[in-house]
């Protein structure tokens, strides 16, 4: 194995589960309560539209891997097609989105575990993050195996919930017409459907991690092409089936934002030990997302360093595990710092970070589509995807509470673009080809 080369020991099953682990977190088991309570039964339409966008973006990633193999993750694929500025902006804003997400997951997991362990909240945060950081410092195959079983637990929980829900429907404990009878499809108006789409897209984001994880497998481009669409179909299927069953089994007006609608359904069906089981699933989902997030952020830093867009120290690999140790520790420290800021300055700095990352996933997806159009030509599918993504940005501009997020996300992208331009002007633009692209093609 060459110096500064990541290991190639992940298998396709690891890649798929790492990607699913990055998507299905607390935003699925708890966060789905907000779109349902805001949009009512119409939330299913919002989920379907967001799911279509997620699927189409993954089709774009597959096309890029097939058309232009050997260019690393989606960040370096964007760099290859759209230039160094776009690659710099995408890499650093993607890293920012993930470390902010990691901070949220750390705080949520600590809030659940601290009372159970009778430990201070801050100490529990450090213990949770320390455990997940240690997992990411292992050899990548060991990390992949750990994440495989984390994600498998979530998939099993979703499958059991779907089976229980279908069984309840067949026994007459709910109805397909239940949502309509509870106030109509759009009780709060059509604008409410648009208002929740950005949050749903954010909760479905993470499937692009497959392009990062595949780089540590024996056939990166083939595995990207195989996994992208399959992962997207599974994720969209999980979301749509689960939300449909929730709407059919309980009145949407009884879903409380911030509380798990899954647990509400299970309690209504008098499923024994539902609360304990759901708490275990939610905690494992948070830990899994932390695991995948630390993995993704460290590998993105490794790629950025390889093209001189980040300090070269981030390319340092542990000689025993081939893990990018400095990049892992830096991402973990950044996530811990943001979680501390959330306590010290919740209404200023943390609120800014949370809002500034709101639309960045949509911007990243738009750049993926533009990359596909640049490499593979303009077609109906990429144009449709781009129209849907731009429509989502327009919806954010029209809805009052997301307008601020859109503005801050736009400013963040422009700021990163300005930094990239300044680096070029002072003679520090990337001069060497990313070693990750040297895959033998």
Confidence of residue 405 (pLDDT cuts 50, 70, 90): confident
What is the count of structural domains for the chain? 1
User: Would you say residue 406 lies in a domain?
Assistant: no
**Residue 142 buriedness (CB in 10 A; 0-12 / 13-18 / 19+):** middle
To the nearest whole percent, how much of the chain has pLDDT over 70? 90
| 152-196 pLDDT, tens digit each | 888 888 889 999 988 888 887 766 555 545 566 777 777 778 878
User: Would you say residue 382 lies in a domain?
Assistant: yes
Query: Does the pLDDT at position 95 exceed 90?
Result: yes
Q: Which of 113, 107, 134 is nearest to 341 (CA)?
A: 107
User: Would you say residue 432 lies in a domain?
Assistant: no
Q: Which of 299, 292, 334, 291 is nearest to 317 (CA)?
A: 299
pLDDT score for 334: 94
Query: Does the pLDDT at position 235 exceed 90?
Result: no
Average pLDDT, the chain: 82
Mean pLDDT (whole number) for 279-301: 87
The SS3 of residue 217 is strand
| 320-373 pLDDT, tens digit each | 888 899 999 999 999 999 888 888 776 666 676 777 777 888 999 999 999 999
The SS3 of residue 10 is strand
Dihedral sign of CA atoms 247, 252, 254, 258 in order: positive
What CATH number is attached to the domain comprising 63? 1.20.1740.10
Q: Which of 404, 24, 364 is nearest to 203 (CA)?
A: 24
**Residue 205 buriedness (CB in 10 A; 0-12 / 13-18 / 19+):** buried
Confidence of residue 51 (pLDDT cuts 50, 70, 90): confident
Q: What is the extent of the structural domain holding 187?
A: 12-337+359-392
User: Would you say residue 437 lies in a domain?
Assistant: no
Beta bridge partners of 10: 217
User: Would you say residue 440 lies in a domain?
Assistant: no
Confidence of residue 439 (pLDDT cuts 50, 70, 90): very low
User: Would you say residue 401 lies in a domain?
Assistant: no
What gap in Å lies between CA 394 and CA 235, rounded to an integer? 25
User: Would you say residue 426 lies in a domain?
Assistant: no
In angstroms, what CA-CA distances link 8 with 85, 218, 441? 29, 5, 15
User: Would you say residue 429 lies in a domain?
Assistant: no
Confidence of residue 382 (pLDDT cuts 50, 70, 90): very high
Pair 35, 228: CB distance under 8 Å: no
pTM above 0.75, yes or no: yes
């Amino acid at each position: 194995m060459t110096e500064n080369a990541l290991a190639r020991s992940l298998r396709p099953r690891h890649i798929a589960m790492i990607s699913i682990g990055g998507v299905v977190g607390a935003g699925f088991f708890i966060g789905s309560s907000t779109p349902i309570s805001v949009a009512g039964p119409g939330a299913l339409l919002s989920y379907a539209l967001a799911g279509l966008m997620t699927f189409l973006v993954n089709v774009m990633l597959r096309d890029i891997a097939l058309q232009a193999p050997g260019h690393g993750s989606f960040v370096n694929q964007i760099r290859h097609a759209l230039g160094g500025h776009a690659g710099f902006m995408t890499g650093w804003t993607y890293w920012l989105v993930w470390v902010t997400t990691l901070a949220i997951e750390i705080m949520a997991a600590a809030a659940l575990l601290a009372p159970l362990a009778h430990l201070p909240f801050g100490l529990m945060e450090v213990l949770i993050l320390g455990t997940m950081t240690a997992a990411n410092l292992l050899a990548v195959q060991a990390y992949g195996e750990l994440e495989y079983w984390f994600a498998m637990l979530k998939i099993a929980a979703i499958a059991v919930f779907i089976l229980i829900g279908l069984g309840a429907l067949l026994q007459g404990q709910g109805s397909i017409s239940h949502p309509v009878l509870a106030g109509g499809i759009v009780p709060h108006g059509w604008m409410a459907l648009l208002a929740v789409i950005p949050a749903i897209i954010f909760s479905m984001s993470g499937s692009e991690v497959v392009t990062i994880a595949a780089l540590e497998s024996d056939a990166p481009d083939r595995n990207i092409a195989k996994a992208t669409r399959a992962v997207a179909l599974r994720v969209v299927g999980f979301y749509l089936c689960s939300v449909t069953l929730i709407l059919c089994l309980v009145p949407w007006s009884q879903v409380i934002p911030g509380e798990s609608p899954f647990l509400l359904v299970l309690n209504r069906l008098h499923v024994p030990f539902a609360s304990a089981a759901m708490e275990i699933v939610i905690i494992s989902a948070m830990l899994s997302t932390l695991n995948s997030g630390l993995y993704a952020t460290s590998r993105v830093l490794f790629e950025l360093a390889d093209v001189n867009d980040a300090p070269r120290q981030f390319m340092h690999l542990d000689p025993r595990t081939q893990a990018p140790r400095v990049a892992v520790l830096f991402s973990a420290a950044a996530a811990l710092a943001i979680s501390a800021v959330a306590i010290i300055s919740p209404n200023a700095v943390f609120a800014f970070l949370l809002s500034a990352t709101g639309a960045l996933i949509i911007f990243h997806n738009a750049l993926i589509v533009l990359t596909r159009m640049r490499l593979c030509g303009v077609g109906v599918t990429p144009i449709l995807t781009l129209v849907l993504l731009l429509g989502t940005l327009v919806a954010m501009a029209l809805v009052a509470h997301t307008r601020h997020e859109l503005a801050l996300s736009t400013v963040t992208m422009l700021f990163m673009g300005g930094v990239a331009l300044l680096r070029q002007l002072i003679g520090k633009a990337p001069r060497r080809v990313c070693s990750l692209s040297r895959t033998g093609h």
